[in-house]
Amino acid sequence: MEYRFLTEELQKKIKSIQNRYLAKEQAIIPSLHLIQETYRDIPKEAVEELSHFLQVPLADIEGIVSFYDMFRFKKNAKNHIRLCRNLPCHLGGSRKLLKMLEKLTGAKAQGHSQDGKWYIELVECIGSCAIAPSFLINYDLYDGSKIKNEEDLKKILEKYD
């Protein structure tokens, strides 16, 4: 299986977790923490990859993610926008950017667009303050300071089906 979310670095960390336990199932929860720390939530594909990597049934891992409040599956829209709302990004114009995102996607902050194509989430610092206001679409990072008007933003949004 080709791993897209379990990067080599994550695989190494998960391996070292595995080595600490006798039963492979015991590595599930710490591995999910690692995945969530890396991606801020848990992509479904990452769960499939983890199941393959640990050689435990997919249903067991999905059951754990659904059972514990501390784990979050990736939001159920086709494209997930995460816009930082912390001070540097706020001062850099994240409010204006949000207005444009809402207008162009039809989704409101913390909500889906009617067609299910977009979800906009306002998040805390995403570690990219140097390019404030920064935002992610799925796992692609964007420098909001380069977006001067709706046309610029439209060009970015058009890349996503």
- Judged by beta carbon, residue 11 or residue 110, the one nearer ligand FES is 110
Smallest gap from Cβ 130 to ligand FES, in A, equals 8
Residues lying near ligand FES in the complex (CB under 6 A) are found at: 84, 86, 88-89, 125-126, 128-129, 132, 134
Question: Minimum distance from CB of 106 to ligand FES (Å)?
Answer: 24
The conformation of residue 132, written as its DSSP 8-state character, comes to S
Tokens of 22: 């006798």
| 43 vs 144, beta carbon nearer ligand FES | 144
Compare residues 113 and 128 and give the one whose CB is closer to ligand FES.
128
Which residues, 6+ apart, have CB-to-CB distance to 47 below 8 Å? 58, 61, 62, 65
CB of residue 102 vs ligand FES: minimum separation in angstroms?
A: 18
Indicate the residue among 28 and 89 with the shorter CB distance to ligand FES: 89
What are the b/e assignments for 38-59, b being 16+ CB within 10 Å?
A: bbbbbbeebbbbbbebbebeee
CB 110, min distance to ligand FES, A: 17
The CA distance from 18 to 59, in Å, is 19
SS3 80: strand
